[in-house]
Amino acid sequence: MKNKFFLATTPVFLVLQAACYWTIKLFQSDYHTFDFWIDNAIPFVPAFVYVYNLFYPYTLVCFYLLYRADREKYTRTLIAGIISVLACYAVYLVYPTVMVRPDASPLGGITGRFLAFTYAMDEPAVNCCPSIHCLFAFLVMGSGFFSDKIKKSLKVVFFAGSLLIVFSTFFIKQHYVLDAVTALAVYLGAWFAAGKIHRR
């Protein structure tokens, strides 16, 4: 079966990551928050909730395309992803953060209800820094950038889609800018660490 390794890795990884994310919440208290001018300057755009919720299907599809095109970079990306989320979980346990979100209930309409539902599914809005959403976006973006077997057109899709997901976390006030910056730093460190592990 051509896709056996993929099915045994990425879907399992995403499910375990989500399960661990929710489990960690049970052991946290005394949350910290940030108040930077740049976050206050970013407008609240509820419509980006649709982009935000493409996170899992987008990651799954992009990882599959990477798997079919470049097995070596897929394996390295997967290792980097495991290292990254473990690093994020360690930070969450030591320094848990919380996002102060606007009230979505007065918005009304399909978008308002969908945003309120999205908020409710991640209540309380903790474990923000580094952002797992942004981390996976960077994993996808980086896999396209570092692979010489991914077509240029697909690289553009990887980059643009990932960038939209990162921006969506800001526009629906689900993450601070610092959450994305730290996620990028974690990803880069994990990518180079994964390179050393993968060469062994």
Residue 22 structure tokens:
């929710």
Give the model confidence (pLDDT) of 51-62 as tens digits: 999 988 999 999
User: Any idea of the CA torsion for 185, 191, 192, 196, to the nearest 10 degrees?
Assistant: 150
| Per-residue confidence band for 138, with pLDDT thresholds at 50, 70 and 90 | very high
Q: What is the pLDDT of residue 80?
A: 95
Q: How many helices (H) and strands (E) does the chain have?
A: 10, 0
- State the chain's mean pLDDT as an integer: 90
Q: Are 58 and 168 in contact (CB under 8 A)?
A: no
Would the pTM count as exceeding 0.85? yes
Identify the burial level of 123 via C-beta atoms within 10 angstroms of its C-beta, where 0-12 means exposed, 13-18 middle and 19 or more buried.
Answer: exposed
